[in-house]
Structure formats: C-alpha cells, structure tokens
Amino acid sequence: MKIRRGKTLLDDPALTKSTAFSREERDRYGLRGLLPYDIADINKQKMRVLGSMRCKNSDIEKYIFLSALLERNQRLFYRTMIDHIEEIMPLVYTPTVGEACKEFAHIFRKPQGLYITPEDRGNIVSLFGNWPETDVRIIVITDGERILGLGDLGANGMGIPIGKIALYIACAGINPAQCMPVMLDVGTNNLSLRDDPLYLGYPFPRLTGDAYRSLVDEFVNAVQSCYPKALIQFEDFLTPNAFEFLDRYGKEVRCFNDDIQGTAAVTLAGVYTSGQITHKKFSDLTIMFLGTGSAASGIADLMVSAFCKIGLSEEQAKARLWFVDSKGLVVSGRKDIKPRIRPFAHDYPACSFLDAVSAIKPDVLIGATGVAGTFDENIIRKMTEFNEHPVIIALSNPTSHTECTAEEAYRWSGGRAVFASGSPFQAVKYGDKVFKPAQGNNAYIFPGIGLGMQASAARLVSPAMFLAAAEVLASTVLPEEINVGAIYPPLTRIREVSHAIAVAVCRVALSEGLAENDLPDDLPAFVRALMYEPGYE
C-alpha cells in the first residue's frame, strides 16, 4: 500500500495526527512546514476541541462541530467522545440527533455512509464496490420512515445510522474501518421535504409493496455476497416493516432490529434493577405498556422469555403484561388489535388508561408512545396510591416526545418514583434528596451485541443473546448508583458494560452452536483485545 505523505496524509481523517506528528515524523512524511511549530499531543488537542465545542450556543451547533471533527480527525473525535461520553453522547445521538435529522439537508457538509435508491436496483453489489473498505462487520440501515418519534424524514434519516455507528465505535470499540451506515432512500411521503429545494433525497413518494421488499432483499443478499461476516442492524423502520424484516431475515442472516430487540433488552434490564429499590420479585410483577408499536411489543416478547426462564408458563407470563393504546385498555373483545399485541389482550372490560391503572394496579408502567405528556399527573399519582415505589419508564425520544419528565415523575409521586427514560435528564432535587435518573439508552445493549457477534462470528443473532444482555446490564449497576435512583450504570462505564455483554453473547453463541470462531477459554481477554482504542501511539 502506498504510504501517504504531505497534505494527503494530513487530510486523511483515519491517519492524520494533525499537530501531534513528531519532528521525526514531520521529516519522514514530508510535513515540515505544513504544521505550526508546537507538537500538541492528543490530550492537548482534546482541550482545544472541548473549549471550541463548549463555546457553541446550541446543541445543534455542537453537533455540526463534532461532525466536522470526525470528518477531519477520526481518532481525536473518538478519543474525545470516549473520555467525555456523558457530555458528548447526547450531542452525537439522542436527543440532538433528532434535531439534526430534521435539519439534515440544511446542515449537510460532507457525505458519510452509503445511499441506496430505487434507481440502484440490480446494482447494489457494484454500489458496495464503491465503498472504500472491504472487511465490513457492522451495517446500520434505515429507510427513514419512522425516525425516533418524528415520523417520515426520508433521506434526512441518515443521521440515525451515522450516529449509531459512532456509538458502536465509542461504546464497544468496533473498528471504524469495519462500520458502514446505510440509507435505503426509497422516497418520502413527507410533502414538506419533497418541496424543500435543499432536500437531498429521492424526491418521490415512498416505494411500497413488492418493489420495496425486493429492494430490501437485494440489499440483504448483496451484504451476504460482499460482506459475509457483517451484522445488519435495522433501525427506525415502520413497525409492520420492522417485524416483517426481522421475521424474514432473522433466522437466515446475521441481523437484528434495535427498536424491537435492543429496546426490549435495555428496558428489561431496568425492570430487573428496579427490584433492588421496590424489593419486589420480578416473578411477581404486573407490567403495563402505553403504546402498541414495535418497541412495546418487543419488550413484551422478551419479558415473556424472562418470566418463562424463572419458571412461569407462557400463559402465566402473558397474564402479567397489559397494553393500553389511544383507545384505552387493549382487551380481547376489541376488533382492532395488532397481531403482535393480540396474545396480550385479556378478557377484561374496556376502560380508559386511568381506569386501567386504577383497576389492574401495575407495578411497572412503560411508555412507548412517541407522545409527550401521556404520563400525566393523574396517572403518576394513581400509580403512587398502590405502589410504595412506582416504576415509571418513559422511553419515547427525543426529549420533546417523552411521556413525562424526571422532575414531573418525582414531584407527582412525592419523590417515590423509580424513574428512567429514553432521553437524558439532569439530576432532580426533591425535598432533601437528589435523584440522578439514568437514561434507558439502547447504547447499553447494541454495541455489546455487535462486539460479541464479531468475536464469536455467530451465524445468527438469537433471542437468548438479548436476554443475556439484559441480565448483564442489570448486574452492572452499583449500590451507590441505585441509592440515587439510577437503574442503569453511568455512561462513563459503558465500554465496560459492552465488554461484559459481548462476553455473554459469545457464551450464548457457544451454547447454541452458533459460533463460527474457535473461542479461547479466556473469553474476557480475547474480547478485550478486539476493542479499538483510539490514540496516536
């Protein structure tokens, strides 16, 4: 391979050290005169990055700044993100990524990722040939139809795969050269986007039906041909498509759906951990969901597996899970029930959300609606009437769409709620106590799944891997964290969590006969050695 020199080397985001090149390196690579005199190591560069970033007046400006940093110096970006994960992850992903997706075409600077449109039908393999790397191991793909709680954002949804890839790298140490964000740009039904002169996507109504499915088929088959070791993560697809593709490909290729399975695992982990505050056994819990989309149904399915693992029958497990939608309690007498929810529709009188909470008395309330304020004061106060510590998990994001805020949950429950959310919230002081609620972020799950799949080369992603991931995540929360109301560990330990989940995934892959790699006895050391650690050494 030709050694890069001079300006070409300085402009390569994967290879540049910028002002950190030594005197000897400056002579060797033709850099003398192209850099200022001072040799600034990566720590001094981080100081400059943080100072510049913190001067920005808004989160979207910080997002743009960080995106530009990634485009010019990959190792500095990831070193800064890892070392300041609590500050930077909300800027790179939730909640700022929601605003970034809405404004994607207007803040566009430099292309990232791979775009596939209907005009590429029959040529996706050759399209992959344009990608600069050949050993791709992680692919995150979206079609932009259901971005967070924001709906159809078309090609603007590319911000999601780009952000998820950043989390794979920062949170689990996947090598950047092995990652590919993909936008399946099949059009948009969002007329405001199609009318926007700056919109960058395929400016036609969405492709549907067999034409749409066949394009997805071609993509999946092309991945098997070009990148046979790659794991495909489906992200932010409309619920029916999300389940269809999971059913269609999940038993054939390495793939999973983060909205269904990642959300399920992180939520289950939070419910497990909440028992250390409520002092209730998981086997005794009654759980109610507000929302019947992919996230809620995925959580319910994994919870059934969790209940069955500890001895309940499937029928007993489903009896502990209840659903509410915009029309009220989902009961067996209704005719408009989604197929995935029907097994959880019980023989019970129809009633409103508040009446359902009052009558069924759930221990845990989980929101996955995408609608702000649906956990109102009446709901939280009602939950507090029969729970010493009601568990309130408001998953919807971005922050503007969350079912309730942390401050509302603590205030309306008199400081008794166990609260977690899909979006980050600051610490809340109620009375004499300061609560530090943790974010139920899928970043605790999917990076570790990806690392474990890479380590084991498992043929498939099995449901047991997500159950194991939930158990591992719950086990990592420390007593001092639980004492301030956190049911997840701090983001500062997320690489440690991802490592532990990856080891658990390897063990599941071995036990289920899925591992294609010969794995050593010392799995933790083997997995640790795979993790990318950005630096200039």
Phi and psi angles of residue 124, each rounded to the nearest 5 degrees, phi first = -65, -35
Q: What is the CA radius of gyration of the chain?
A: 23
CB atoms within 10 A of CB 329: 23
Question: Has 93 been annotated as catalytic?
Answer: yes
CB atoms within 10 A of CB 281: 9
Burial 132-152 (b: 16+ CB within 10 A, else e): eeeebbbbbbbbbbbbbbbeb
Tokens 């993560």 belong to 233
Q: How far apart are CA 233 and CA 212, in angstroms?
A: 18
Question: Has 348 been annotated as catalytic?
Answer: no
* Among the listed residues 313, 256, 309, 234, the one whose alpha carbon sits nearest the alpha carbon of residue 463: 256
State how far the alpha carbon of 513 is from the alpha carbons of 364, 382, 502, 536, in Å: 36, 48, 16, 39
Marked catalytic residue, from 102, 164, 280, 318:
164
The full length of the chain comes to 537
Edge-to-edge strand list for the sheet holding 179-184: 114-116, 179-184, 138-142, 231-234, 255-257
Q: How far apart are CA 74 and CA 55, in angstroms?
A: 21
Q: How far apart are CA 27 and CA 401, in angstroms?
A: 54
Q: How far apart are CA 530 and CA 455, in angstroms?
A: 8
CB atoms within 10 A of CB 252: 11
Marked catalytic residue, from 29, 78, 93, 444:
93
**Residues whose CB falls within 8 Å of the CB of residue 511, separated by 6 or more in sequence, listed in order:** none
Q: How far apart are CA 444 and CA 483, in angstroms?
A: 20
* Among the listed residues 111, 221, 220, the one whose alpha carbon sits nearest the alpha carbon of residue 155: 111
State how far the alpha carbon of 289 is from the alpha carbons of 254, 268, 440, in Å: 29, 13, 16
**Which H or E element spans position 139?**
strand 138-142
Q: How far apart are CA 14 and CA 133, in angstroms?
A: 12
Residues forming the active site: 93, 164
